């Protein structure tokens, strides 16, 4: 039996992405790949939130997606705006899903940010883990 051993090395962005992308395989990856960076139709929004949730949305979550993301027509600025972000992340719908929604709308401005990204940043920057 052979097991992988991860060695610490400084590499460029493309090598980093290539290495780590091989470590993950998601059954519903097409829900993300087929919809991110494209016009956000209701169908694409449902697919992206299904991907994010990892399983079918409960009735409560589906109602929240409809009300806070499909029906809400808030324009997400193309440039980072801390004043906007402070107010926007406090709105109903939950900060986690709002952070994801920022990414869905402006993936180049707002990269994907989740608990795993946060843990990696905490480790790299020496932050205290939350």
Map out the domains of the chain as residue ranges: 28-125
Mean pLDDT of 29-33: 94
User: What pLDDT score was predicted for residue 27?
Assistant: 81
| Residue 89 and residue 95 in contact, taking contact as beta carbons nearer than 8 Å | yes
Whole-number mean pLDDT of the chain?
91
Name the DSSP letter for residue 66: I
Confidence of residue 119 (pLDDT cuts 50, 70, 90): confident
pTM of the model: 0.79
Q: How many CB atoms lie within 10 A of CB 48?
A: 22
User: What pLDDT score was predicted for residue 82?
Assistant: 94
Residue that the structure tokens 């940043």 belong to: 121
pLDDT over threshold 80, residue 71? yes
pLDDT over threshold 80, residue 87? yes
């Amino acid at each position: 039996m052979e097991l992988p051993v991860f060695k610490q090395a400084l590499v460029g962005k493309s090598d980093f992405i290539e290495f780590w992308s091989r470590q993950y395989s998601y059954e519903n990856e097409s829900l993300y790949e087929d919809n991110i960076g494209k016009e956000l139709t209701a169908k694409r929004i449902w697919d992206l939130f299904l991907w994010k949730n990892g399983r079918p949305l409960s009735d409560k979550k589906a109602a929240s997606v409809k009300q806070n993301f499909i029906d809400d027509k808030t324009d997400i600025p193309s440039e980072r705006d801390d004043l906007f972000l402070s107010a926007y992340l406090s709105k109903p719908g939950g900060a986690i899903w709002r952070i994801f929604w920022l990414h869905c709308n402006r993936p180049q401005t707002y990269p994907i940010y989740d608990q795993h990204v946060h843990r990696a940043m905490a480790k790299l920057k020496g932050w205290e883990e939350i």
